[in-house]
């Protein structure tokens, strides 16, 4: 019996569909349609265009340290690479870093089991996202203390939840009644961030106790993003939610290495919580990213156990910059600016000018070359604020804001 010859033809299916008068299928998922472009994308693209045209741009939009990673941390990564420590490791994290994180909290009087209460992740952002996926069901309400980092909102929605804004004041001070008003039968979580991006506000022990008591009374979980914990000023102390909830009954703390050790591109974070939540996150990591990069974890061990003087030096530099940038903003008529107690941002109020933040940020960039982040992306209530990062040099602060100050005089 003979069979007809099979002929294989390579075709472009999109061209075929179009030739037949049809429309190619849209492969974009409904989930993807809910993910907006970055709120800073327009400013970034405009700044890039102006720089390509030869304009001097003063960058105050960058949310990362301007310091290099300490050399002992870099050397630890290189040593791990040369030592062949480049294979898959446990999804939970390598034992040395789990133990180092345990010791970090033990030094603060907080009992943590590295092997039960900790997961190491490719950046703190992944720890947050896996925590949300482990906790939120479709239709759940998730309270968000605002102003808040915009990625929280996107991740909550992607996990099926509904962000519910709880507005704080310019110092990120909570109002107990305002939180109570937003609690519903569908409330699953509250997200807090102290020190806060964008205000630099730091929640007090009393604030945290109020939040914990409400969570206990109404049975919801607390996500505490503590990524800026090492950057607090004037002897002010950052209080971890684990000091309020040492049993981790309803607390998941998110932290990482990006801000404290200038390791933003290394992508190394972690979460601390109860064994059930952490185990759920481990299962997600096993089936997605597999593990945090092995040799980067060894660098993380050195970061935690090595010389910590870098943090003190960096903090002192930030405090000097903070003092100067706040002084300049407070000297601009009609602009109000609170002196932040942590992180490396100021969030001045420009409402006297009556110009929405996205429009004002674009005008400032066009006229002065100064970049900043529109307040609206941190919450609808903050459409007349702008965020400025002082993770830049004193010279840039002086020069850039001198142009901004002159520009503001034209708005009066």
Boundary-marking domain end, from 276, 305, 334? 305
Same domain, 284 and 317: no
Question: What residues are paired with 270 via a beta bridge?
Answer: 120, 255
Same domain, 224 and 353: no
Looking up residue 336, the CATH number of its domain turns out to be 3.90.1150.10
The answer to whether position 360 is within a domain reads yes
The answer to whether position 273 is within a domain reads yes
119 and 93 Cβ atoms separated by less than 8 Å: yes
Same domain, 209 and 113: yes
The answer to whether position 318 is within a domain reads yes
Residue that wins the pLDDT comparison between 177 and 39: 177
Q: Strand, helix or coil at 151?
A: helix
**63-79 average pLDDT score:** 97
pLDDT value of position 38? 77
Same domain, 286 and 324: no
What is the number of structural domains in the chain?
2
List pLDDT tens digits, range 370-411. 999 999 999 999 999 999 999 999 999 999 999 999 999 999
Q: Tokens in use for 8?
A: 């294989």
Cβ-in-10-Å burial (0-12, 13-18, 19+) of 404 comes to: buried
List pLDDT tens digits, range 143-158. 999 999 999 999 999 9
Residue 17 has pLDDT above 60, yes or no: no
Q: Strand, helix or coil at 347?
A: coil
φ, ψ of residue 398 in degrees (nearest 5): -65, -50
Kindly indicate the confidence band of residue 14, based on its pLDDT and cuts at 50, 70 and 90: low
- Boundaries of domain holding 352: 41-61+310-409
What contacts 123, CB < 8 A, 6 or more positions away? Answer: 256, 258, 267, 268, 269
User: How many CB atoms are located within 10 Å of the residue 280 CB?
Assistant: 17
Greatest alpha-carbon span in the chain: 94
**277-284 average pLDDT score:** 98
């Amino acid at each position: 019996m003979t069979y007809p010859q099979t002929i294989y033809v390579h075709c472009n299916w999109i061209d075929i569909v179009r030739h037949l008068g049809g429309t190619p299928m849209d492969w974009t998922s409904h989930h993807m349609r809910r993910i907006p472009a970055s709120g800073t994308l327009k400013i970034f693209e405009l700044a890039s265009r102006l720089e390509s045209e030869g304009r001097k741009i003063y960058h105050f939009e960058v949310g990362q340290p301007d310091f290099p990673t300490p050399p002992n941390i870099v050397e630890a990564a290189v040593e791990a690479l040369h030592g062949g420590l480049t294979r898959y490791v446990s999804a939970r994290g390598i034992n040395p870093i789990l133990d180092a994180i345990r010791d970090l909290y033990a030094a603060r009087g907080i009992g943590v089991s590295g092997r039960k209460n900790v997961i190491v992740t490719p950046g703190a952002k992944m720890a947050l996202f896996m925590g949300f996926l482990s906790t939120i069901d479709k239709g759940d309400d998730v309270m968000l203390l605002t102003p808040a980092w915009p990625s929280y909102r996107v991740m909550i929605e992607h996990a099926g939840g509904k962000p519910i804004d709880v507005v704080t004041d310019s110092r990120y001070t909570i109002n107990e009644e305002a939180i109570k008003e937003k609690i519903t039968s569908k409330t699953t979580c509250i997200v807090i961030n102290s020190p806060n991006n964008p205000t630099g506000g730091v929640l007090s022990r009393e604030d945290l106790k109020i939040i914990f008591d409400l969570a206990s009374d109404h049975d919801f979980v607390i996500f505490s993003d503590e990524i800026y914990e090492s950057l607090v000023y004037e002897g002010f102390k950052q209080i971890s939610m684990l000091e309020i909830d040492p049993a981790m009954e309803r607390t998941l703390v998110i932290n990482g290495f990006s801000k404290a050790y200038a390791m933003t591109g290394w992508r190394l974070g972690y979460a601390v919580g109860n064994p059930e939540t952490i185990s759920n996150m481990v299962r997600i990591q096993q089936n997605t990213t597999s593990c945090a990069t092995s040799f980067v974890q060894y660098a993380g061990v050195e970061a935690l156990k090595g010389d910590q003087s870098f943090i003190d030096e960096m903090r002192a530099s930030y405090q000097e910059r903070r003092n100067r940038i706040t002084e300049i903003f407070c000297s601009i008529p009609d602009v109000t600016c609170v002196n932040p107690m942590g992180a490396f941002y100021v969030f001045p109020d420009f409402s006297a000018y009556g110009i929405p933040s996205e429009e004002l940020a674009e005008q400032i960039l066009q006229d002065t070359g100064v970049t900043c982040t529109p307040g609206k992306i941190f919450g609808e209530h903050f459409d007349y604020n702008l965020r400025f990062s002082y993770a830049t040099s004193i010279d840039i602060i002086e020069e850039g804001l001198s142009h901004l100050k002159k520009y503001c005089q034209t708005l009066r």
